[in-house]
């Protein structure tokens, strides 16, 4: 997958996301989708980076913090894409997202799907 050509919220989002990918060096779709969301805004990244490492993402610590509804819905989606949690409510998320949040969510889902497919294709060959 060419990570240079996907949607990014801004240049800082792209820089932070690609920096994490270069450190992770794997094809773990759940991590990548979560990293993508967690680096999407300055506010989310500043609040979550201390609970995010290359080995784990501590969503329980992240979610203890107060977030605006649209950001909380994005973080819950990140958790769902990362570990298939049942905390994510699509109807609630759609009601809270603006165009920006929706675009980030859609790209994160595309990342998870595309990387999962690439992983399975390599496994089946």
Q: What is the pLDDT of residues 45-71, one digit of tens each?
A: 999 999 998 888 999 999 999 899 999
CA distance 79 to 1: 22
CA distance 123 to 16: 29
* Closest residue by Cα to residue 51 from 79, 15, 77, 73: 79
pLDDT > 50? residue 123: no
The size of the chain, in residues, is 125
H and E: helices and strands count for the chain: 7, 0
Domain ranges of the chain: 11-124
Percentage of the chain exceeding pLDDT 90 = 67
Average of per-residue pLDDT across 21-26: 78
Average of per-residue pLDDT across 15-44: 89
Res 2: pLDDT: 82
pLDDT > 90? residue 100: yes
């Amino acid at each position: 997958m060419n990570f240079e050509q996907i949607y990014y919220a801004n240049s800082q989002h792209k820089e932070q996301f690609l920096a994490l990918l270069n450190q992770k060096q794997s094809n773990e779709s759940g991590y990548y989708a979560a990293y993508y969301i967690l680096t999407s805004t300055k506010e989310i990244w500043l609040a979550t980076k201390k609970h995010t490492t290359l080995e784990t993402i501590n969503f329980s610590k992240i979610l203890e913090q107060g977030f605006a509804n649209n950001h909380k819905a994005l973080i819950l989606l990140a958790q769902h894409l990362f570990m298939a949690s049942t905390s994510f409510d699509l109807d609630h998320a759609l009601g809270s997202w603006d165009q920006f949040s929706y675009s980030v969510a859609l790209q994160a889902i595309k990342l998870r799907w595309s990387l999962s497919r690439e992983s399975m294709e390599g496994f089946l060959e």
